[in-house]
Structure 1
Amino acid sequence: MNETNLTSKIKTEPNIGNRFAAGLVDYIIIYAVTFFLIYTLGEPNDEGGYSLNGLPGLIPIAFWLIMTVGLEIGFGATLGNSLVGLKPIPKNGTNRKLTFGESFKRHLLDPIDMFFFGLIGIITIKNTDKNQRLGDIWGNTIVVKTSELKKTE
């Protein structure tokens, strides 16, 4: 089966609610662990808060990378996407796990896509042919329901 047939068989939908919930789950976990690390490993700073300095400052970044990119390339979806029944796949419709580059590009733009409660992501999802957010466009990926993937197998 060629790429055109695969892409036309895969149905993309905005799934705004599910995508919002998935991002919320993922980033609640990421922020909770980050704040825990800052308060347990951090040192008091002049502003009355805590700071992670040096090598410990890389731990939250590594955790973010594992929770987003690592889970997508290892298991096919983040925890949030798995819970709501969504899976990111390459834009050509091939049902496979994303590569490191595809997934990293998707998530590097999360801060922009999630700006002001996801407004930018929602606008781009609603105004692109394949319901992609900026990260999906740059990563050349789409997000589909896992039930849709089972129909094409």
Structure 2
Amino acid sequence: MATYGGSAPIFGRHSVASEKTTVVTRRVAQYIVDVIANGVLSAIPFLLLVAASTDSAGNVEGGTATSVLYAIAIVLALAVSVWYWVLRPAAHRGRTFGMALMRIRVVDADTAGEARKGQLVIRWILLIVDTLFAGLVGLITMLVSKRHQRVGDMGAHTLVVRDRGPRVY
């Protein structure tokens, strides 16, 4: 890996100082915030489903209509998750709500510019791997990798760096 002036590693044509990627503690806090926020937002379709499929006595009705409502709720919850982990960061300088709060953001590892939607999709899909064993796979990977990347970052060619910008949510 090339360096510029002996200090910052060069990825593509741009440099990212190694201290900017030393954000593991912030990332753990960010992940906790984001899991709670995404969980609450994704639960809304299911709460609406229960309200729509409950009779006046408080019993959940069965049948085809309820099955269709469950399918719709699952699709809506998935759409919320895609918005939270992919579309929102793409529109807000690579930041989820938790990232904005912790002042970190996702960048393209090759250009140090904003991560592209495709990269954010790969990170989101590989979050499944990173969260194995209560998140230990992602945590250990971040602790031992040179650029503090989780599996999703490696697969997407992204870095998470300190963001000195304002905490705009």
Q: Same fold (TM over 0.5)?
A: yes
1:19 is aligned, of 27, 42, 49, to 27
Residue 93 of structure 1 and its aligned partner are, at CA, apart by 4.4
Residue 101 of structure 1 and its aligned partner are, at CA, apart by 0.6
2:36 maps to what in 1?
A: 28
Letter matched to residue 106 of structure 2: P
* 1:128-139 matches, cutoff 5 A: 128-139=145-156
Over 3 Å counting, the alpha-carbon distance change for 1:15 and 1:9 in structure 2 is closer
- Give the fraction of aligned pairs with identical amino acids, expressed as a percent: 21
Residue 10 of structure 1 and its aligned partner are, at CA, apart by 5.4
Residue 4 of structure 1 and its aligned partner are, at CA, apart by 5.1
Letter matched to residue 112 of structure 1: V
Is 1:88–1:143's contact at 8 Å kept on the other side of the alignment?
Answer: yes
1:70 is aligned, of 87, 95, 107, to 87
Q: Comparing 102-111 with 52-61, which one deviates more in the overlay?
A: 52-61
Q: TM-score, normalized by length of structure 1?
A: 0.80
2:108 maps to what in 1?
A: 90
Residue 98 of structure 1 and its aligned partner are, at CA, apart by 1.4
Aligned counterparts of 1:92 and 1:74: Cα–Cα separation in 2 = 20
2:122 maps to what in 1?
A: 105
Over 3 Å counting, the alpha-carbon distance change for 1:16 and 1:112 in structure 2 is same
Structure with greater helix percent: 1
Deviations 1:98-139 (A, max 9, x none): 111100101111132123332111111111111100000001
Is 2:142–2:149's contact at 8 Å kept on the other side of the alignment?
Answer: yes
The reply to whether residue 53 of structure 1 matches residue 70 of structure 2 is yes
Uncovered stretches (5+) of structure 1, i.e. residues with no partner: none
Aligned counterparts of 1:146 and 1:93: Cα–Cα separation in 2 = 16
Aligned counterparts of 2:73 and 2:134: Cα–Cα separation in 1 = 29
Q: Comparing 3-12 with 121-130, which one deviates more in the overlay?
A: 3-12
Is 1:102–1:140's contact at 8 Å kept on the other side of the alignment?
Answer: yes
Is 1:106–1:136's contact at 8 Å kept on the other side of the alignment?
Answer: yes
Count of matched residue positions in the alignment of Structure 1 and Structure 2:
144
Over 3 Å counting, the alpha-carbon distance change for 1:45 and 1:22 in structure 2 is farther
Is 1:106–1:135's contact at 8 Å kept on the other side of the alignment?
Answer: yes
Q: Comparing 81-90 with 12-21, which one deviates more in the overlay?
A: 12-21
Residue 27 of structure 1 and its aligned partner are, at CA, apart by 1.3
Q: Comparing 32-41 with 138-147, which one deviates more in the overlay?
A: 32-41
